[in-house]
């Protein structure tokens, strides 16, 4: 059938417009990336570390774009570019596992892929939110 | 409708239990009156044609709003209301409210507002359309999103019976309209993107007792296939499908997640006692993961109404690589084919081919492109009945993680659920179509119950090198397999068509226009801008001597997600000129019913009476 139908996106916000904040975020992420505890590593905007790569693959496999948009900009679900600026890692974890049924977000705690890779998914979305990782297809850092 | 006694005897002698009586049911009596719109298609045959002719090609330009109604829900509004006598039955998307409206003063006779668990909504991710109600045996049938089928007393709105035909926890939901044929209610299942196993289910309209269930994939017994008697087009003639015709075409037990969902518009031929419907895409959009023809997904089925047994089957798209569901409606028309009268079934598939088959025998007669830009297959081999796939546009050939570009049509097909209409006067079929192409990148996925089981990333955009729009409204000659005329539209025409004896065809657009065109040449005669995009089906009825035309205005459906894709894919360099993203300039969410009629002249009742 139809991959259905995220209702209308006519009024979906374009999540990309964060202007000057984005530059600051980029610097922060760049600093993080240099440190040993970097959340994610990224080169040329589309080559990432293995954990983040699995995070992107999890995003893709669970078809998250159906509600959150192909570039995480939000459709019937909220923009994750925005949400990841305020959501803590713990809050992210509990949201993806338990969902927000009242708002239409399903729980993903039965998915093996999510259980295995949720931290990579968090890293990927953080990288998207920081403006460090480009939308679309990713490949491993050589 | 009248059946010869001889036939009745033959059936009885053959031992075919027939629950159907020779007399017309209340639904059949209601459908016989053109003043009613008693079934979603107006009839059993999916014609969407009305004998009413107060509104004609010459006066349709004067059409104006008679009255409107808000459903109170701002989601995609597919399907149409029903009209029986002095009552209109209106439905809404989730939570699937039903209103019985008194046509005399538009007051509500009753309302039915079901309480459904909201957790079903994300499994429908994300639009919550419902394609409408059915009428029969004094009842209004509602197929709720949560897979509950409810029979309401048409007079009081009280629940007469209610059954569950699926499990949302494993991704099973419903968007289809239930269909009443004789004393049987037929319904299906959605969830092709969640690895569900499609099936058609029949219930006794009196009691809600399940009569039969026919799966789209799996063992013959569960599919109600007789290996020796169920026929299919084989090397230029009909032949029995043989044992395990489905299971042999799947790896291991993948047929259990096989898809083949059944959310379209069904049709029924009372003379042959056959029900016609199509099955959807096979489970996972990554074709490399499921080798084989994946039968009987993507298949047109003809089944006996009483037993559910398949008389014949025809698979349009073996081993799907594009999400070209075979669920689109089947129009039952009698045509002159090469000098012979043939009882035919006409089907405009998502894959871009318009098929004509003999609806009695299942023989393939015509398979031609109804959009000349379709490129995934060069043609259908009329001997084998199989498409000749172009390897350049074949994600199964290039394999996972390769992005295949410029496949036409896109996954939403040259046409999706938006039903066509058969103009009984001209013999033409008026078809609302999409004119959209795509990139398609499949990837490996694992199945988890209740989680999406998709496995492909897509982008969609207007057909390159064409008129720049994303749709056409076309007239099709089903015997010749040719486009008679084609009217370009800026966006996909996602609304169901209506033809009338007034020589006009109606349809709606995603910008929110409802339009009337001349059936013979497509010339636009009238249009009216409703507040929201139209994905509902135009219908007509007569009340108190006056003809009305109506349609829901409320954008959504898959076209909604297409818009979203248009919004974000400009980075791909495909450009979005004329793309869905432009919709934001024209429309916003809505949820209303618009009803139109010709203006009343002064002292109208007298004048009208004389004019009649």
pLDDT digits over B308-325, tens only?
999 999 999 999 999 999
With a cut of 50, say whether residue A22 has pLDDT above it. Answer: no
Supply the ipTM of this predicted assembly.
0.76
**pLDDT band at residue B5, thresholds of 50, 70 and 90?**
very low
With a cut of 90, say whether residue B142 has pLDDT above it. Answer: yes
Min distance A37 CA to chain B CA atoms (Å)? 30
Residue of B nearest to A108 (CA): B451
Asked if the Cβ–Cβ distance from B443 to A61 is below 8 Å, we say yes
Distance CA A10, CA B144 (A): 26
- Top residue of A6, A8, A46, A65 to mutate, by most chain B CBs within 10 Å, is A8
Q: What is the pLDDT of residue B22?
A: 59
Asked if the Cβ–Cβ distance from B119 to A106 is below 8 Å, we say yes
Per CB-CB distance under 8 Å, the chain B contacts of A60 are 443, 457
Asked if the Cβ–Cβ distance from B452 to A1 is below 8 Å, we say no
| Over residues B422-440, mean pLDDT | 96
Distance CA B360, CA B92 (A): 36
Q: What is the pLDDT of residue A5?
A: 33
Helix (H) or strand (E) holding B278: strand B274-278
Distance CA B598, CA B97 (A): 30
Residue of B nearest to A77 (CA): B126
Report chain A's terminal Cα–Cα distance, integer Å. Answer: 39
- Top residue of B409, B411, B436, B451 to mutate, by most chain A CBs within 10 Å, is B451
Task: Answer whether residue A31 is part of any domain.
Answer: no
Q: What is the pLDDT of residue A65?
A: 85
With a cut of 50, say whether residue B11 has pLDDT above it. Answer: no
Which of B146, B220, B323, B423 is labelled catalytic? B323
> Residue B323 catalytic?
yes
Asked if the Cβ–Cβ distance from B555 to A3 is below 8 Å, we say no
For residue B140, the cross-strand partners are B135, B152
CB environment B520-546: b (16+ within 10 A), e (fewer)? bebeebbebebbbbbbbbbbbbbbeeb
Per CB-CB distance under 8 Å, the chain A contacts of B281 are 1
CB contact set of A66 (below 8 Å; sequence gap of 6+): A3, A4, A6, A75, B125, B126, B452, B561
- pLDDT above 70 coverage of chain B, percent: 91
A1-30 residues touching B, CB cutoff 8 A = 1-12, 14
- pLDDT above 70 coverage of chain A, percent: 74
CATH number at residue A132: 1.10.760.10
Residue of A nearest to B450 (CA): A110
Supply the DSSP string of B55-109, one letter for each residue. S-TTTGGG-EEEEEEE-S--S---S--EEETTEEEEE-STTT-EEEEETTT--EE
With a cut of 90, say whether residue B580 has pLDDT above it. Answer: no
Distance CA A114, CA B482 (A): 50
- Asked if B564 is an interface residue toward chain A (Cβ–Cβ < 8 A), one would say yes
Asked if the Cβ–Cβ distance from B76 to A57 is below 8 Å, we say no
Six-digit token pair at B553? 């205005």
Asked if the Cβ–Cβ distance from A67 to B126 is below 8 Å, we say yes
**Residue range B193-206, pLDDT digits in tens:** 999 999 999 999 99
- Asked if B123 is an interface residue toward chain A (Cβ–Cβ < 8 A), one would say yes
Nearest-by-Cβ selection for A2 from B452, B455, B558: B558
Q: What is the pLDDT of residue B550?
A: 98
**pLDDT band at residue B577, thresholds of 50, 70 and 90?**
very low
- Asked if B588 is an interface residue toward chain A (Cβ–Cβ < 8 A), one would say yes
User: Under DSSP, is residue B485 helix (H, G, I), strand (E, B) or coil?
Assistant: strand
Task: Answer whether residue A8 is part of any domain.
Answer: no
For residue B456, the cross-strand partners are B442
**pLDDT band at residue B586, thresholds of 50, 70 and 90?**
confident
**pLDDT band at residue B560, thresholds of 50, 70 and 90?**
low
Find, among B125, B170, B162, the residue nearest to B144 by Cα: B162
Min distance A65 CA to chain B CA atoms (Å)? 9
What is the separation of C-alpha B42 from the centre of its chain, rounded to a whole number of angstroms? Answer: 13
Mean pLDDT score across all residues of chain B: 91
For residue B354, the cross-strand partners are B348, B368
Find, among B259, B293, B91, the residue nearest to B189 by Cα: B259
Asked if the Cβ–Cβ distance from A70 to B569 is below 8 Å, we say yes
For residue B64, the cross-strand partners are B597
Sheet with strand B310-315: strands edge to edge: B237-240, B231-234, B310-315, B299-304, B274-278, B267-269
Classify residue B433 as left (phi > 0), alpha (psi -120 to 50) or beta.
Answer: beta
Min distance B355 CA to chain A CA atoms (Å)? 19
| Over residues B166-179, mean pLDDT | 96
**pLDDT band at residue B579, thresholds of 50, 70 and 90?**
low
Q: What is the pLDDT of residue B459?
A: 84
Asked if the Cβ–Cβ distance from B567 to A110 is below 8 Å, we say no
Q: What is the pLDDT of residue B126?
A: 60
User: Residue A13, CB half-sphere, CA atoms under 13 Å: how many?
Assistant: 13
- Asked if B366 is an interface residue toward chain A (Cβ–Cβ < 8 A), one would say no
**pLDDT band at residue A74, thresholds of 50, 70 and 90?**
confident
Min distance A97 CA to chain B CA atoms (Å)? 12
Asked if the Cβ–Cβ distance from A10 to B190 is below 8 Å, we say no
| Over residues B537-543, mean pLDDT | 98
Distance CA B222, CA B244 (A): 11
Asked if the Cβ–Cβ distance from A12 to B567 is below 8 Å, we say yes
- pLDDT above 90 coverage of chain B, percent: 84
Task: Answer whether residue A132 is part of any domain.
Answer: yes
What is the separation of C-alpha A2 from the centre of its chain, rounded to a whole number of angstroms? Answer: 24
Strand residue runs (E) in B154-217: 159-164, 179-181, 184-187, 199-204, 210-215
User: Under DSSP, is residue B499 helix (H, G, I), strand (E, B) or coil?
Assistant: strand
Six-digit token pair at B424? 């009984």
Min distance A34 CA to chain B CA atoms (Å)? 29
Range of the domain at A56: 38-140
Contact (Cβ atoms closer than 8 angstroms) between residue B54 and residue B63 = no
| Over residues B524-551, mean pLDDT | 97
- Asked if B260 is an interface residue toward chain A (Cβ–Cβ < 8 A), one would say no
Contact (Cβ atoms closer than 8 angstroms) between residue B9 and residue B298 = no
Residue with tokens 């496949």: B407
Q: Which comes out higher in pLDDT, residue B192 or B573?
A: B192
Q: How many CB pairs under 8 A join A and B?
A: 156
CB environment A43-56: b (16+ within 10 A), e (fewer)? eeeebbbebbbbbb
Task: Answer whether residue A1 is part of any domain.
Answer: no
| Over residues B554-563, mean pLDDT | 70
With a cut of 80, say whether residue A17 has pLDDT above it. Answer: no
Distance CA B176, CA B43 (A): 17
Per CB-CB distance under 8 Å, the chain B contacts of A136 are 571
Per CB-CB distance under 8 Å, the chain A contacts of B560 are 5-10
With a cut of 50, say whether residue B564 has pLDDT above it. Answer: no
Nearest-by-Cβ selection for B125 from A66, A108, A112: A66
Find, among B424, B503, B504, B507, the residue nearest to B471 by Cα: B507
- Asked if B436 is an interface residue toward chain A (Cβ–Cβ < 8 A), one would say no
Distance CA A132, CA A83 (A): 16
Q: Name the percent of chain A in helix, strand, coil, to the closest 5.
A: 50, 5, 45
With a cut of 50, say whether residue B548 has pLDDT above it. Answer: yes
Task: Answer whether residue A123 is part of any domain.
Answer: yes
Min distance B420 CA to chain A CA atoms (Å)? 18
Find, among B94, B93, B79, the residue nearest to B42 by Cα: B79
Six-digit token pair at B364? 């393939």
Nearest-by-Cβ selection for A76 from B126, B568, B588: B126
- Rounded to two decimals, the pTM is 0.90
- Pairing between β-strand A47-48 and β-strand A139-140 as defined by DSSP bridges: parallel
Residue B209: is the preceding peptide bond cis (ω within 30°)?
no
Per CB-CB distance under 8 Å, the chain B contacts of A5 are 76, 124-129, 556-558, 560-561
Q: What is the pLDDT of residue B321?
A: 98
**Residue range B337-381, pLDDT digits in tens:** 999 999 999 999 999 999 999 999 999 999 999 999 999 999 999
The length of chain A in residues reads 142
Asked if the Cβ–Cβ distance from A6 to B561 is below 8 Å, we say yes
Distance CA B444, CA B439 (A): 17
Nearest-by-Cβ selection for A1 from B128, B190, B584: B190
Number of domains in chain A: 1
The burial class, CB within 10 Å (0-12 / 13-18 / 19+), for B322 is buried
Give the domains, in start order, of chain B with CATH numbers.
Answer: 24-79+417-435+470-612 (no CATH), 117-130+132-217 (2.40.128.630), 219-257+266-416 (no CATH)
Task: Answer whether residue A91 is part of any domain.
Answer: yes
Find, among B62, B34, B39, B134, the residue nearest to B424 by Cα: B34
| Over residues B136-152, mean pLDDT | 98
Nearest-by-Cβ selection for A7 from B76, B568, B569: B76
Find, among B463, B511, B470, the residue nearest to B489 by Cα: B470
Task: Answer whether residue A89 is part of any domain.
Answer: yes
Distance CA B355, CA B44 (A): 19
- Pairing between β-strand B210-215 and β-strand B421-422 as defined by DSSP bridges: unpaired
Task: Answer whether residue A23 is part of any domain.
Answer: no
**pLDDT band at residue B43, thresholds of 50, 70 and 90?**
very high
């Amino acid at each position: 059938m139809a991959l259905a139908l995220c209702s209308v996106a006519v009024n979906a916000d374009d999540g990309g417009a964060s202007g000057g904040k984005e530059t600051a975020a980029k610097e922060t992420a760049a600093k993080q990336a240099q440190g040993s505890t970097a959340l994610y590593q990224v080169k040329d905007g589309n080559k990432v570390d293995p954990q983040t790569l699995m995070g992107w693959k999890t995003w893709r496999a669970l078809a998250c774009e159906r509600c959150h948009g192909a570039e995480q900009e939000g459709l019937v679900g909220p923009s994750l570019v925005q949400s990841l600026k305020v959501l803590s890692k713990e809050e992210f974890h509990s949201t993806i596992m338990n969902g927000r049924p009242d708002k239409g977000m399903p729980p993903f705690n039965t998915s093996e892929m999510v259980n295995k890779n949720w931290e990579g998914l968090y890293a990927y979305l953080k990288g998207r939110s920081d403006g460090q990782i480009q939308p679309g297809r990713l490949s491993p850092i050589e | 409708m009248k059946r010869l006694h001889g036939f009745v005897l033959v059936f009885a002698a053959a031992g075919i239990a027939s629950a159907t009586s020779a007399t017309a049911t209340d639904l059949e009596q209601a459908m016989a009156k053109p003043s009613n719109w008693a079934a979603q298609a107006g009839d059993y045959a999916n014609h969407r044609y009305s004998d009413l002719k107060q509104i004609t090609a010459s006066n349709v330009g004067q059409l104006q709003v008679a009255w409107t109604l808000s459903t109170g829900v701002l989601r995609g509004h597919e399907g149409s209301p029903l009209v029986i006598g002095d009552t209109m039955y209106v439905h809404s998307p989730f939570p699937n409210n039903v209103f019985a409206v008194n046509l005399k003063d538009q007051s509500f006779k009753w309302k039915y507002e079901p309480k459904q668990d909201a957790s079903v909504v994300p499994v429908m991710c994300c639009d919550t359309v419902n394609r409408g109600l059915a009428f029969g045996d004094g009842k209004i049938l509602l197929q709720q999103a949560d897979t509950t089928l409810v029979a309401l007393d048409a007079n009081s709105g009280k629940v007469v019976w209610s059954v569950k035909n699926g499990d949302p926890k494993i991704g099973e939901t419903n968007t289809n309209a239930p269909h009443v044929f004789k004393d049987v209610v037929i319904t299906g299942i959605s969830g092709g993107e969640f690895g569900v196993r499609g099936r058609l289910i029949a219930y006794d309209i009196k009691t809600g007792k399940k009569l039969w269930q026919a799966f789209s994939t799996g063992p013959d017994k569960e599919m109600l296939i007789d290996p020796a008697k169920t026929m299919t087009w084989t090397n230029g003639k009909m032949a029995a499908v043989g044992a395990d015709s489905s299971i042999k075409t799947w790896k291991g037990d993948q047929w259990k997640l096989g898809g083949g969902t059944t959310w379209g518009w069904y049709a029924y031929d009372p003379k042959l006692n056959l029900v016609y419907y199509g099955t959807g895409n096979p489970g996972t959009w990554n074709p490399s993961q499921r080798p084989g023809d994946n039968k009987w997904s993507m298949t047109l089925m003809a089944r006996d109404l009483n037993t559910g047994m398949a008389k014949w089957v025809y698979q349009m798209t073996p081993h799907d690589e594009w999400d070209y569901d075979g669920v689109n409606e089947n129009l039952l028309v009698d045509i002159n084919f090469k000098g012979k009268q043939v009882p035919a079934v006409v089907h405009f598939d998502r894959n871009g081919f318009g098929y004509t088959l003999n609806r009695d025998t299942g023989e393939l007669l015509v398979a031609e492109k109804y959009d000349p830009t379709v490129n995934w297959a060069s043609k259908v081999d009329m001997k084998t009945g199989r498409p000749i796939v172009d390897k350049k546009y074949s994600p199964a050939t290039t394999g996972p993680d390769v992005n295949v570009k410029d496949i036409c049509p896109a996954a939403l097909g040259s046409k999706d659920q938006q039903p066509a209409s058969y103009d009984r006067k001209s013999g033409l079929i008026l078809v609302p179509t999409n004119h959209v192409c795509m990139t398609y990148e499949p990837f490996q996925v694992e199945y988890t119950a209740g989680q999406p089981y998709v496995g492909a990333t897509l982008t969609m955009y207007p057909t390159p090198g064409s008129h720049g729009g994303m749709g056409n409204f076309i007239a099709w000659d089903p015997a010749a397999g040719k486009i008679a005329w084609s009217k370009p539209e800026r966006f996909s025409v996602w609304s169901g068509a209506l033809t009338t004896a007034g020589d006009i065809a109606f349809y709606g657009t995603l910008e929110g226009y409802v339009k009337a065109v001349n059936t013979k040449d497509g010339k636009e005669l009238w249009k009216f801008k409703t507040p929201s995009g139209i994905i509902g089906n135009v219908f007509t009825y007569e009340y108190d001597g006056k003809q009305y035309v109506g349609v829901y205005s409320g954008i959504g459906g898959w076209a909604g997600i297409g818009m979203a894709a248009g919004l974000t894919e400009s980075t791909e360099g495909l450009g979005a000129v004329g793309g869905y993203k432009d919709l934001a300039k024209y429309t916003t969410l809505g949820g209303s019913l618009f009803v139109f009629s010709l203006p009343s002249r002064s002292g109208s009742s007298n004048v009208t009476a004389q004019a009649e």
